[in-house]
Structure 1
């Protein structure tokens, strides 16, 4: 039935498969930026917290009887920490983007989305293509022009990522400024890869730019990256959270977030808050090694190396595995050009990162392919 499509993927080196990697490989592929996934004491804390309740399953949708005291506690902790009026848990970042875009794009609304926005967000626009305008990546001038050309009476949402997942770029402050000066406009910030990696206290894009006024901001923060758990949270003014609670299909018609993941997020969040300065200093040391060795400066928890074609990328990926390092090999159509995505997880030692950086430097095919600007 699908043999020709699969053969075509094999031919262009785009065929993918699930793989159980050798656990002895040093993990530079995951989004576990702060290394929390290996802290068994935090897992035990989460288990103990969950065990204190009679029920350990969410059982149903949050609007039936699946809403649990752990859910409420996590929402309150995040709203307080991130200084938002209200918060709403969702099952994942994908479901969060689906909730925002499918629900907020009412008849009189337009969405202006960065062309490099998360795939989950781009997918969510497919149902309402006539209400979506894409602007060039991180291009505030292009956004301004498209806003100028749009009907003035429309409700407008501007969607960006705090740190872009495939190039590690930080969105410019001007997107916030444009939102503030545009009537009936809200800024949606997907903080999947910026929470836990940028900002004075690693709280993400908004803290990085010291943004305090949040009455026109909607923040999507996921738990599966720096917090090494699962799920996500939408933070916004109360009226928006109430509207999403009553209208978002990916909230209403899905089982509430797993209680084990909720308890684990709470345990990891508590550790993160207590250790944020130490975590920030440690991440900075890994970033500095990459800059000193490869000349690549990254503000995020990862960096990327671009390749001319898929075979060159896969050769480099295989070479690094042979040397004991697992990195991400990202191919089109996920990205426009093949790239290695190297995560600076704190579960790896500084010595490991030095060894990886030197291995990259000494690999001639990579030297001729990656960009260090």
Structure 2
């Protein structure tokens, strides 16, 4: 008997509900800032990726409004037909210079960037070796290729060496890693990974979604953090949301990479270009982070304070090295209960459980931003102390 749509939907939702994995996203009733209103309650926001506080920054809004007025509400077409406005190419040149790359190309999102770039680069007979904790967009992007896919242990250059040694190929060899890992907040040992890749004739592909705007001089990212910005065997991709506060994805590397992506990357070829207001806001974000170092200074000062105080309280931060600050609760039910209790105390911080993170490693992922005040963080710490003791975690 043919499965009916309503039965399939009901069955899938019932499975999610019974396993405790059915999502009910909270709704923000105001702009995404360090303090905002969620479901009618004023809260300290520790749940966003708005690292530098740019999502509602006046400079971004002003340039977005100016571009909207001059260039219109939308681009009107895909880039390869009639959708490439002069401002698109101007911003890509600005981004390439910021990243110290030969060229840059903007795509619709960080997720589709991985699909587009990996799908364009890799062919049957190639070898790609991916960190076991890489983001879902990398995993899905690799599934679309015909390359031989292998995995190395998380952040383990010795295991990467083993995998590359055990799988010789005459094709392209590509090592893929996140720059900063979004669930644990640790930084890839990029210098060691690139060294091993070079020993085996491989190139390195870094998804810097959580590193751009956070690491390196003026937020240039993980590649710059390790002094690899001038390397011609390192490809940088990432998102234009998170620290940049807007939306989109990018690939930065040799000029020929840009030309090939223009001709082969399917998300680029078959999606309408970014609206002018988005381009204006992104251009303002790059200007702002380079002209005013205080954004990154506040981000890291807040990060150091918050981490140190949580550790003093007795929480396990899982080795985080960045503003991504996971607090380990173990079981998903405990993490979700902690999230609800924190919300009751005026703190918006989301619990994460399996399958987003491994079983037994459920956590609340906090992200500290440049916009948080010391008072915001002290309020959050007081709430964590109260909730952690009530649940027997500390």
1:263 Cα deviation from its structure 2 partner: 1.2
1:298 Cα deviation from its structure 2 partner: 4.3
1:12 Cα deviation from its structure 2 partner: 2.1
1:178 Cα deviation from its structure 2 partner: 1.7
Q: 1:313 to 1:368 in 2, by over 3 A?
A: same
1:129 Cα deviation from its structure 2 partner: 6.3
- 1:19 counterpart residue number: 26
After TM superposition, the structure 1 = structure 2 runs for residues 103-182 of structure 1, keeping only pairs within 5 Å, are: 103-128=120-145, 131-172=148-189, 173-182=191-200
Which of 112, 120, 130 is residue 95 of structure 1 equivalent to?
Answer: 112
Tell whether 2:322 aligns with 1:309.
no
Mean Cα deviation higher: 114-123 or 4-13:
4-13
1:82 Cα deviation from its structure 2 partner: 1.1
Q: Which runs of 5+ in 1 are unaligned?
A: none
- 1:252 counterpart residue number: 269
1:364 Cα deviation from its structure 2 partner: 3.0
User: What does the per-residue CA deviation read over 1:328-362, in whole Å, with 9 as the maximum and x for residues that have no partner?
Assistant: 22222111132101010222212111221232234
- 2:304 counterpart residue number: 288
Q: Secondary structure at the match of 2:217?
A: coil
Aligned partners of 1:366 and 1:116: how far apart in 2? 32
User: What does the per-residue CA deviation read over 1:133-168, in whole Å, with 9 as the maximum and x for residues that have no partner?
Assistant: 111111111111010011242211111011001100
Q: Which has the higher contact order (CA 8 A, sep 6+)?
A: 1
- 2:101 counterpart residue number: 84
Q: 1:348 to 1:212 in 2, by over 3 A?
A: closer
User: What does the per-residue CA deviation read over 1:86-131, in whole Å, with 9 as the maximum and x for residues that have no partner?
Assistant: 1111000011000112111112321111111111111122234662
Aligned partners of 1:279 and 1:62: how far apart in 2? 33
CA contact (8 A) 2:100 2:230 kept: no
- 1:350 counterpart residue number: 374
Tell whether 2:331 aligns with 1:318.
no
Aligned partners of 1:205 and 1:52: how far apart in 2? 35
User: What does the per-residue CA deviation read over 1:217-244, in whole Å, with 9 as the maximum and x for residues that have no partner?
Assistant: 1101211100000001100111222111
CA contact (8 A) 2:299 2:371 kept: no
1:21 Cα deviation from its structure 2 partner: 4.1
1:367 Cα deviation from its structure 2 partner: 7.8
Q: 1:42 to 1:240 in 2, by over 3 A?
A: closer
Q: Which runs of 5+ in 2 are unaligned?
A: 1-6, 30-36, 312-316
CA contact (8 A) 1:289 1:357 kept: no
Q: Secondary structure at the match of 2:212?
A: coil
Q: Secondary structure at the match of 1:36?
A: coil
CA contact (8 A) 1:105 1:131 kept: no
> May I ask how many residue pairs the two structures share in their alignment?
367
Aligned partners of 2:100 and 2:50: how far apart in 1? 24
Q: Secondary structure at the match of 2:68?
A: helix
User: What does the per-residue CA deviation read over 1:32-73, in whole Å, with 9 as the maximum and x for residues that have no partner?
Assistant: 0111112234302221133233x4421111111111111111
Q: Secondary structure at the match of 1:25?
A: strand
Q: Secondary structure at the match of 2:80?
A: coil
Q: Secondary structure at the match of 1:142?
A: helix
Aligned partners of 2:130 and 2:218: how far apart in 1? 27
Mean Cα deviation higher: 83-92 or 203-212:
203-212
TM-score normalized by the length of structure 2: 0.88
Q: Secondary structure at the match of 2:55?
A: helix
